[in-house]
């Protein structure tokens, strides 16, 4: 295991050396000049990391150079994204752009050191999944309408758990509360795991969680699914309504894709977009993503860019309303 | 339970996990055998090895490292009178005397056999008690967790070796260091001085490696090299019939005592081996031999510290609360792997829980295999000059820390804490309470604030809940007991006389 990592590291170093030595004006024909580094702004081993590696491992052979995932976790995925924003725009550095670093952080972090639109060229969306609103099985509500009724009967009495302050699920909870005209008291946790533990134990009645991470608990009936946050019902849980059809104008996905530093040549961007979209059609990849709970979306660079811009615009007012800021 | 244990063995007995266990025990022994380096330092130094592994394999390897280090410490204690940590100090008392009397072989053998028997017994206890305690733990709310952690902090300060005021000071400093980073409730940055690398807090691995690993190495470099042991010839690595008779009861008593002490917060290897030795010295038929090379004086504490090493996993695996510095390291390692230890772990990660338990047993078996036939190799390892060995270890550490986040900032953190740890040891401040504070502090804050959030700011919630109230009462009793001069004298005597 450590042998493999050591080898990978040496390749990274060689790759960096080659990238530095290469002439500044790279033509797309000569690209890639060496191993490509894919910055994953999350800790190794998580779902995002697994998905990034699934795509990266298949991208390498198609480009004729290995794609090496480099985990640079920290500060809501902004540490890794900052590094990517400052890297040379020669197609040798890619980053997993995502809802935290490119959708929410632009508004949440006051001292953010990159512009999620201007400092990047967004290449392709890889996957997105809805969130789920779940509750303890003993909780009185069986539907969103019940939750709203209880919240209106005893204002300020309902708590909801999420994986953390400023997370997409925290903000989704606020969006739902705003749309329903109720107040929900946010109880943040350090990650989705402990939040789910307390929801199952009944410490907190309601939780907003990514559907993939909640689905096992929903199937085991440890929590009850109240609604999902997609535009349509989730094929995995066709009985659960969406917020939208229940009359609340809330559609939200957790997503990530692949981006590169701004200024990366268009030919490289197009080539990467083509290859990534091909990979996302590979039945093996589709099956693994299904299993991990991520839906695959087919987008051109223009579409993905527009999608990111739209996300920033959607979340900005919610972040401001939440009062959460990070210096 | 049997079914679960069987499942555990299928997890632990895969080639990957078996090798992880073996390599862990081997490396743990190799580093632990270095004079002056105890289990905490060994685990911190070897922690980075496990970063790239799947969680179950990683924790199995760490457990292997732990047992290996513990046993490696016994080897140097017996052969060279150089204990790596407090629990091995006890082993030197009679173990080194036995070695001087030409009985190094039986001393090493009884340490291995006692540890094995104790380890096996305690493992069964973990398998039986774990799921039971988990059921209780699931009814714990945030207020109860807060009170439990407060109790744990207080008890481990009270029981830690050395000056209590300094221990408490170190613990509070540890809590402070633990609070660096993003506030969980509001997302505010605290004590980060605009350094982005600090926004997720001070890294656990760099901090622990610096404080324990690097600091120990600096301290050891100060001491002149000791080569005395190499003259000792090791014969007969087994016990005679007469020796078996003498050690059977001490092993049983040591195992029982160690198993109980291991579960207590702040308990663990040191306290259990001291307790077991004191008990044997009082009730043994061969009292007069104690301190002069009594085999009972090796058997009892070695069994006790290994039993405690196993049972101290119980609070970690069921409540997610580390009972001592080694378990604090395990929490850190699990969190690095993305696993929050707690009551849901048995259900959510059954392979991890039962695999670990099965590997505890396998690890103990491997220790006997590694140590008895290979003792000659360990002795030879001691001949490698430190000025070759330590730089190699340091480079290995730096690479390990760097590979955690591919970030050189972590290496600087390790260096800073290395010097801090050295400074602390010079002024007599124990680093273990700091590590416990560092791990428990942020968890305590989180549960405190969550409890207050859920009670809408009413602090009575800590007294109204029966579990929380009784834990707080115990904490008060612990503080009062500490303040009473007679009890404190008793503890100091036990620690000094041990």
- From A44, A187, A188, residue closest to B454, measured CB to CB: A187
Kindly report each contact of residues A3-12 with a partner whose C-beta sits within 8 Å and lies 24 or more positions away, as own/partner: A4/B52, A5/B52, A5/B403, A8/A68, A9/B403, A11/A35, A11/A66, A11/A68, A12/A37, A12/A68, A12/A70
- Which residue's structure tokens are 């329903």? A180
A265 three-state secondary structure: coil
Kindly state the tokens that stand for B482: 């500490």
Residues of B with CB below 8 A from A327's CB? 188-189, 194
pLDDT at A1: 38
CB contact under 8 A, A165 and B183: yes
- From B138, B189, B342, residue closest to A327, measured CB to CB: B189
User: Å from B186 to nearest chain A CA?
Assistant: 6
CB contact under 8 A, A189 and B55: no
DSSP letter at A294 equals P
CB contact under 8 A, A71 and B182: no
Angle at B117 between CA B115 and CA B121, to 5 degrees: 115
Confidence of residue A11 (pLDDT cuts 50, 70, 90): very low
Domains of chain A: 2-128+255-312 (3.40.190.150), 130-228 (3.40.190.10)
Any B CB within 8 A of A185 CB: yes
Confidence of residue A18 (pLDDT cuts 50, 70, 90): very low
Complex ipTM > 0.90: no
**A277: number of Cβ within 10 Å:** 17
Q: How far apart are CA B70 and CA B72, in angstroms?
A: 6
Any B CB within 8 A of A72 CB: yes
**Does position B209 have pLDDT exceeding 90, yes or no?**
no
Taking only residues 30 to 69 of chain A, the set having a beta carbon closer than 8 angstroms to any beta carbon of chain B reads: 43-46
Residues of B with CB below 8 A from A324's CB? 186-187
Contact partners, residue B128, CB within 8 Å, separation at least 6: B1
User: Å from A76 to nearest chain B CA?
Assistant: 9
CB contact under 8 A, A75 and B200: yes
pLDDT at A22: 44
Q: List, in sequence order, the alpha helices (H) in A111-167.
A: 144-153
pLDDT at A25: 44
The candidate with the shortest Cα–Cα distance to A257, out of A100, A65, A125, is A125
**Does position B486 have pLDDT exceeding 60, yes or no?**
no
User: Dihedral (C-alpha) A112, A117, A123, A125: value to the nearest 10 degrees?
Assistant: 80
Q: What percent of chain B has pLDDT over 70?
A: 90
Q: Are A49 and A71 in contact (CB under 8 A)?
A: yes
Residues of A with CB below 8 A from B336's CB? 43
- Which residue's structure tokens are 């197009």? A270
CB contact under 8 A, B200 and A74: yes
CB contact under 8 A, B184 and A165: yes
A314 three-state secondary structure: helix
Average pLDDT on B243-258 reads 91
How far is the CA of B266 from the CAs of A231, A236, A280, B214, B274, in angstroms? 52, 47, 52, 24, 14
Structure-model confidence comparison of residues B307 and B493, the more confident one: B307
Mutation target vs A (from B195, B338, B403, B407; most A CBs, 10 A cutoff): B338
Q: How far apart are CA B282 and CA B325, in angstroms?
A: 29
Q: Among A40-54, A108-122, A200-214, B31-45, which stretch is predicted with the lowest mean pLDDT?
A: A40-54
pLDDT at A135: 95
CB contact under 8 A, A188 and B185: yes
> How many interchain CB pairs under 8 A, A with B?
97
Q: How far apart are CA B127 and CA B125, in angstroms?
A: 5
Angle at B357 between CA B352 and CA B360, to 5 degrees: 120
CB contact under 8 A, A193 and B348: yes
How far is the CA of A170 from the CAs of A107, A163, B30, in angstroms? 14, 8, 48
pLDDT (tens digit, 9 = 90+) per residue, B286-304? 888 888 889 999 999 999 9
User: Å from A10 to nearest chain B CA?
Assistant: 12
Kindly state the tokens that stand for A82: 């900052």
Residues of B with CB below 8 A from A198's CB? 142
Domains of chain B, by residue range, sit at: 2-497
Q: How far apart are CA B252 and CA B299, in angstroms?
A: 9
CB contact under 8 A, B403 and A82: no
- From A2, A164, A200, residue closest to B52, measured CB to CB: A2
Q: Are B397 and B45 in contact (CB under 8 A)?
A: yes
Any B CB within 8 A of A164 CB: yes
- Give kind and range of the element (H or E) at residue A6: helix A2-21
- Which residue's structure tokens are 């972590």? B410
Residues of B with CB below 8 A from A78's CB? 196
Q: How far apart are CA A187 and CA A136, in angstroms?
A: 15
How far is the CA of B154 from the CAs of B29, B159, B259, B466, in angstroms? 32, 9, 21, 20
What is the number of helices (H) and of strands (E) in chain A? Answer: 11, 10
CB contact under 8 A, B49 and A2: yes
Q: How far apart are CA B126 and CA B259, in angstroms?
A: 9
DSSP letter at A101 equals I
Nearest-Cα residue of chain B relative to residue A13 = B406
* A94, β-bridge pairs: A38
Any B CB within 8 A of A211 CB: no
- Which residue's structure tokens are 């009178």? B81
pLDDT at A148: 92
DSSP letter at A281 equals T
CB contact under 8 A, A190 and B453: no
pLDDT at A159: 93
Residues of A with CB below 8 A from B403's CB? 5, 9
Average pLDDT on B42-68 reads 84
pLDDT at A176: 93
b/e sequence B198-210, b meaning 16+ C-beta within 10 Å: bbbbbbbbbbbbb
Confidence of residue B252 (pLDDT cuts 50, 70, 90): very high
CB contact under 8 A, B405 and A185: no
Structure-model confidence comparison of residues B398 and A43, the more confident one: B398
Q: Are B93 and B297 in contact (CB under 8 A)?
A: yes
Nearest-Cα residue of chain A relative to residue B447 = A189
Q: Among A106-120, A196-210, A273-287, which stretch is predicted with the lowest mean pLDDT?
A: A106-120
Residues of B with CB below 8 A from A70's CB? 406
Q: Label each residue of chain B as H, E or C.
A: CHHHHHHHHHHHCCHHHHHHHHHHHHHHHHHHCCCCCCHHHHHHHHHHHHCCCCHHHHHHHHHHHHHHHHHHHHHHHHHHCCCCCHHHHHHHHHHHHHHHCCCHHHHHHHHHHHHHHHHHHHHHHHHHHHHHHHHHHCCCCHHHHHHHHHHHHHHHHHHCCCCHHHHHHHHHHHHHHHCCEECCCCCCEECCCCCHHHCCCCCHHHHHHHHHHHHHHHHHHHCCCCCHHHHCCCCCCCCCHHHHHHHHHHHHHHHHHHHHHHHCCCCCHHHHHHHHHHHHHHHCCCHHHCCCCCCHHHHHHHHHHHHHHHHCHHHHHHHCCCCCHHHHHHHHHHHHCCCCCCCCHHHHCHHHHHHHHHHHHHHHHHHHHHHHHHHHHHHHHCCCCHHHHHHHHHHHHHHHHHHHHCCHHHHHHHHHHHHHHHHHHHCCCCHHHHHHHHHHHHHHHHHHHHHHHHCCCCCCHHHHCHHHHHHHHHHHHHHHHHHCHHHHHHHHHHHHHC
Q: How far apart are CA B98 and CA B109, in angstroms?
A: 12
pLDDT at A3: 39
CB contact under 8 A, A75 and B182: yes
Q: Are B98 and B298 in contact (CB under 8 A)?
A: yes
CB contact under 8 A, A203 and B141: yes
Please tell me which of A90-94, A143-147, B165-169, B203-207 the model is most confident about, judged by mean pLDDT. Answer: A143-147
Please tell me which of A124-133, B379-388, B430-439 the model is most confident about, judged by mean pLDDT. Answer: A124-133
User: Å from A217 to nearest chain B CA?
Assistant: 10
DSSP letter at A109 equals B
**B139: number of Cβ within 10 Å:** 11
Average pLDDT on A41-45 reads 68
Residues of B with CB below 8 A from A326's CB? 182, 187-189, 199
Any B CB within 8 A of A220 CB: no
Q: What percent of chain A has pLDDT over 90?
A: 15
Q: In B, what residues contact A, Cβ < 8 A?
A: 49, 51-55, 138-142, 182-189, 194, 196-197, 199-200, 336-340, 342-344, 348, 403, 405-407, 446, 450, 453-454
Kindly state the tokens that stand for A85: 């924003």
Q: From its phi and psi, is residue A151 left (phi > 0), alpha (psi between -120 and 50) or beta?
A: alpha
User: Å from A147 to nearest chain B CA?
Assistant: 18
For residue B170, the number of C-alpha atoms closer than 13 Å in the C-beta half-sphere is 28
pLDDT at A19: 44
Mutation target vs B (from A93, A104, A197, A222; most B CBs, 10 A cutoff): A197
pLDDT at A45: 58
How far is it between the farthest Cα atoms of chain A? 68
- From B51, B343, B405, residue closest to A73, measured CB to CB: B405
Any B CB within 8 A of A203 CB: yes
pLDDT (tens digit, 9 = 90+) per residue, B429-465? 888 788 888 888 888 898 899 999 888 888 998 999 9
- From A73, A166, A201, residue closest to B138, measured CB to CB: A201
Mutation target vs A (from B192, B401, B405; most A CBs, 10 A cutoff): B405
């Amino acid at each position: 295991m450590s042998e493999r990592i050591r080898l990978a590291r040496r390749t990274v170093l060689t790759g960096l050396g080659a990238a530095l030595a290469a002439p500044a004006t790279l033509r797309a024909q000569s690209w890639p000049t060496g191993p490509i580094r894919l910055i994953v702004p999350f800790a190794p081993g998580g779902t995002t990391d697994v998905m990034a590696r699934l795509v990266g491992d298949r991208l390498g052979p198609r480009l004729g150079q290995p794609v090496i995932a480099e985990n640079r976790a920290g500060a809501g995925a902004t540490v890794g994204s900052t590094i990517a924003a400052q890297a040379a725009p020669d197609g040798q550095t890619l980053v997993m752009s995502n809802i935290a670093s490119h959708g929410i952080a632009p508004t949440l972090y006051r001292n953010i050191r990159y512009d999620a639109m201007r400092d990047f060229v967004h290449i392709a969306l890889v996957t997105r999944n809805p969130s789920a609103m779940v509750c303890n099985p003993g909780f009185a509500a069986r539907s969103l309408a019940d939750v709203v009724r209880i919240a209106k009967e005893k204002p300020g009495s309902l708590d909801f758990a999420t994986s953390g302050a400023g997370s997409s699920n925290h903000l989704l909870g606020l969006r739902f509360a705003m749309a329903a005209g109720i107040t929900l008291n946010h109880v943040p946790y350090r990650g989705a795991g402990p939040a789910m533990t307390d929801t199952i134990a009944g410490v907190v009645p309601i939780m907003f969680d990514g559907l993939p991470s909640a689905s096992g608990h929903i199937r085991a009936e440890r929590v009850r699914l109240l609604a999902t946050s997609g535009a349509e019902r989730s094929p995995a849980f066709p009985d659960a309504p969406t917020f939208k059809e229940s009359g609340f104008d809330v559609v939200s996905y957790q997503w990530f894709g692949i981006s590169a530093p701004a200024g990366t040549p268009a030919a490289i961007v197009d080539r990467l977009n083509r290859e990534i979209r091909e990979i996302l059609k590979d039945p093996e990849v589709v099956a693994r993503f299904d299993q991990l709970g991520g839906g695959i979306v087919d987008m051109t660079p223009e579409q993905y860019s527009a999608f990111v811009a739209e996300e920033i615009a959607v979340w900005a007012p919610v972040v401001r309303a939440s009062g959460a800021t990070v210096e | 339970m049997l079914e679960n244990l069987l499942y555990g063995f299928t997890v632990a007995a895969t080639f990957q996990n078996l090798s992880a266990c073996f390599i862990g025990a081997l490396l743990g022994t190799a580093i632990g055998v270095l004079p002056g380096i105890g289990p905490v330092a060994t685990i911190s130094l070897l922690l980075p090895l496990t970063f790239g592994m799947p969680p179950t394999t990683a924790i199995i390897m760490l457990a292997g490292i732990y047992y290996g280090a513990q046993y490696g410490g016994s080897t140097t204690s017996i052969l060279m009178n150089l204990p790596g940590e407090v629990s091995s100090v006890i082993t030197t008392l009679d173990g080194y005397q036995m070695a001087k009397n030409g009985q190094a072989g039986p001393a090493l053998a009884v340490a291995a056999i006692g540890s094995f028997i104790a380890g096996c017994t305690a493992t069964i206890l973990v398998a039986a008690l774990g799921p039971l305690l988990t059921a209780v733990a699931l009814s714990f709310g945030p207020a109860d967790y807060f009170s439990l952690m407060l109790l744990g902090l207080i008890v481990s300060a009270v029981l830690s070796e050395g000056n209590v005021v300094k221990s408490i000071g170190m613990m509070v400093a540890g809590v402070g260091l633990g609070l660096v980073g993003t506030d969980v409730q509001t997302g505010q940055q605290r004590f980060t001085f605009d350094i982005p690398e600090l926004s997720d807090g001070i890294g656990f691995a760099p901090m622990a490696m610096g404080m324990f690993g690097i600091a120990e190495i600096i301290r050891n470099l100060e001491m002149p090299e000791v080569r005395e042991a190499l003259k000792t010839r090791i014969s007969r690595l087994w016990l005679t019939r007469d020796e078996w008779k003498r050690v059977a009861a001490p092993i049983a008593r040591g195992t029982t005592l160690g198993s109980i002490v291991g579960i207590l917060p702040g308990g663990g290897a040191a306290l259990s081996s001291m307790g077991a030795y004191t008990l044997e010295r009082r009730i043994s038929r061969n009292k007069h031999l104690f301190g002069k090379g009594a085999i009972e004086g090796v058997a009892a504490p070695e069994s006790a510290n290994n039993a405690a090493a196993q049972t101290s996993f119980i609070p970690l695996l069921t409540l997610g609360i580390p009972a001592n510095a080694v378990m604090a390291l395990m929490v850190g390692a699990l969190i690095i792997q993305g696993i929050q230890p707690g009551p849901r772990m048995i259900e959510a990660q059954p392979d991890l829980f039962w695999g670990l338990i099965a590997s505890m047993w396998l690890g103990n078996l491997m220790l006997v295999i590694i140590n008895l036939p290979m003792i000659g190799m360990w002795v030879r390892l001691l001949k490698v000059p430190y000025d070759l060995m330590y730089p190699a270890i340091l480079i290995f550490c730096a690479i390990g820390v760097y590979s955690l986040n591919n970030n050189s900032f972590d290496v600087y953190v390790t260096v800073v804490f290395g010097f801090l740890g050295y400074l602390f040891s010079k002024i007599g401040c124990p680093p273990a309470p700091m590590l416990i504070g560092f791990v428990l502090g942020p968890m305590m804050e989180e549960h405190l604030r969550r409890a207050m959030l859920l009670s809408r700011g009413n602090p009575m919630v800590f007294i109204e809940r029966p579990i929380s109230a009784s834990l707080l009462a115990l904490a008060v009793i612990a503080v009062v007991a500490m303040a009473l001069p007679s009890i404190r004298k008793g503890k100091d005597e036990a620690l000094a006389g041990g």
